[in-house]
Amino acid sequence: MKGNQYGSHRVITPKGLLPQAAEKINNDPKIFSNEILIDVIALQPTSTAFGRIKNECGRNIDKIKQAILEIVEERGKFQDPVTKSGGMLIGIVKEIGEDLKGKIDIQPGDKIATLVSLSLTPLRISEIHHIDVDTEQVFCKANAILFESGIYTKIPEDLGQNLSLAIMDVAGAPAQVAMNAKPGDVVVIIGAGKAGLLCLAEAKKRVAPNGKVVCLEHSKVQCDIVRELEIADVVLQVNGQEPIDTYNRYMEAMDGRLADFTVSTVNVPDTELSTILVTKDIGKIYFFSMSTDFVKASLGAEGIKKYVSMIIGNGYYPGHAEITFDIIRNNQKLREYFINRYCKP
């Protein structure tokens, strides 16, 4: 039997919605003829989702494990009930539906990373083996379903599964930098987590030779890492939840020159106005973070008479996986940082 290409046939409630917006979906591992069955190796929840669960559970591994299992049991997918975000997974292709055979470039046994959100991916977990609180990775025995419209990438042999797992859930962010940053621009990246670091590295390449890359980050440790990696021209330790102070510090450091393109990658709320204030009127903002409140962004910009184009954090852009893989391949310092941080023996 053939299902809907977007997965609506899997929706249990409310009927008529697509899987991401649905409260519960069917996670039966028996596939339709246009679906792909995956043996899951590990999940990489979004920083927003995992961070909320981790804080609520007091970093207790058993409680985090139970919270994740309860979410998947209740919803048929991993979608944090508060932030509504999911993440991505890596796994081995187990079965391909008859209607897809010969039409796609993978086959059973291939190791892939899904490039669609866990918040719409049918998922059934049998067992969670291990949770790494620091890397926010969940290693488990599970089955997942990829719809006909779903996107994926094969795990590159030169990077390996753990490194690929770490970077693929944020691949949409550096791809937007690649598309929007131009030589001579001022590009501001707010937040220096893994998405922010990849964006900074891509921005340095795109604005050369005369542009400037600015990093705004709350953590002194992360500021020091950015300086060590040499992926920003200006690094400011600021609190993005304090927009006036952030704006004043930025203006002083940049002699009043506002950003042509700004990317927000932070996983905390109430940083929208800082992002808007440091961007010029005809500039662009990419709100990558799922903690963004788009009402605050829209009405906040209106309230300060700021005309700026704002892009919703769509995690997909054509070729975004290869763009992100190439950032790691071409920046040895950054690659070593990610290996040391996310590829524990």
**For residue range 147-163, what is the model confidence (pLDDT) as tens digits?**
999 999 999 999 988 89
State what percent of residues in the chain have pLDDT above 70: 99
Q: Which residue has the tokens 């042999």?
A: 157
Tokens standing for 288?
């990558």
The confidence score (pLDDT) of residue 42 equals 97
Name which of 26-30, 288-292, 339-343 the model is least confident about: 288-292
Structurally, the chain folds into a number of domains equal to 2
- 26 and 151 both lie in a single domain: yes
Neighbours of 147 (CB within 10 A): 24
Name which of 5-9, 232-236, 315-319, 325-329 the model is least confident about: 315-319
CATH number at residue 329: 3.40.50.720
- 217 and 157 both lie in a single domain: no
Rounded distance, CA 68 to CA 123, Å? 11
* 1, part of any domain: no
- 146 and 197 both lie in a single domain: no
Q: Which residue has the tokens 């060590």?
A: 228
* 3, part of any domain: no
- 146 and 274 both lie in a single domain: no
The confidence score (pLDDT) of residue 156 equals 93
Q: Is the CA virtual torsion 14, 18, 23, 25 positive or negative?
A: positive
Q: Mean pLDDT over residues 212-218, rounded?
A: 98
* 102, part of any domain: yes
- 110 and 216 both lie in a single domain: no
Q: Which of 140, 168, 196 is the last residue of a domain?
A: 168
- 290 and 192 both lie in a single domain: yes
The reply to whether omega before 14 is within 30° of 0 (cis) is yes
* 138, part of any domain: yes
- 256 and 317 both lie in a single domain: yes
- 194 and 253 both lie in a single domain: yes
Structural domain of 22: 8-168
Q: Which residue has the tokens 């796609």?
A: 104
Rounded distance, CA 139 to CA 119, Å? 17
The confidence score (pLDDT) of residue 148 equals 97
- 183 and 238 both lie in a single domain: yes
Tokens standing for 333?
């310092």
Please answer whether residues 207 and 213 qualify as being in contact, where contact means their C-beta atoms are separated by less than 8 angstroms: yes
- 210 and 333 both lie in a single domain: yes
Q: Mean pLDDT over residues 198-218, rounded?
A: 98
* 53, part of any domain: yes
Q: Mean pLDDT over residues 52-78, rounded?
A: 97
- 156 and 200 both lie in a single domain: no
pLDDT surpassing 70 at residue 345:
no
The confidence score (pLDDT) of residue 315 equals 81
pLDDT surpassing 80 at residue 70:
yes
Rounded distance, CA 231 to CA 190, Å? 13
- Report residue 297: phi and psi, to 5°: -65, -50
pLDDT surpassing 90 at residue 316:
no
* 331, part of any domain: yes
The confidence score (pLDDT) of residue 41 equals 97
pLDDT surpassing 80 at residue 344:
no
* 284, part of any domain: yes
Rounded distance, CA 199 to CA 187, Å? 10
Please answer whether residues 3 and 100 qualify as being in contact, where contact means their C-beta atoms are separated by less than 8 angstroms: no
Q: Which of 168, 185, 210 is the last residue of a domain?
A: 168
Please answer whether residues 217 and 237 qualify as being in contact, where contact means their C-beta atoms are separated by less than 8 angstroms: yes
Q: Among candidates 164, 140, 163, which has minimal Cα distance to 152? A: 164
- 148 and 193 both lie in a single domain: no
Q: Mean pLDDT over residues 16-45, rounded?
A: 97
The confidence score (pLDDT) of residue 267 equals 86
* 160, part of any domain: yes
Q: Which of 137, 168, 199 is the last residue of a domain?
A: 168
The confidence score (pLDDT) of residue 48 equals 87
Residue 63 parent element (H or E):
helix 61-75
Rounded distance, CA 95 to CA 145, Å? 10
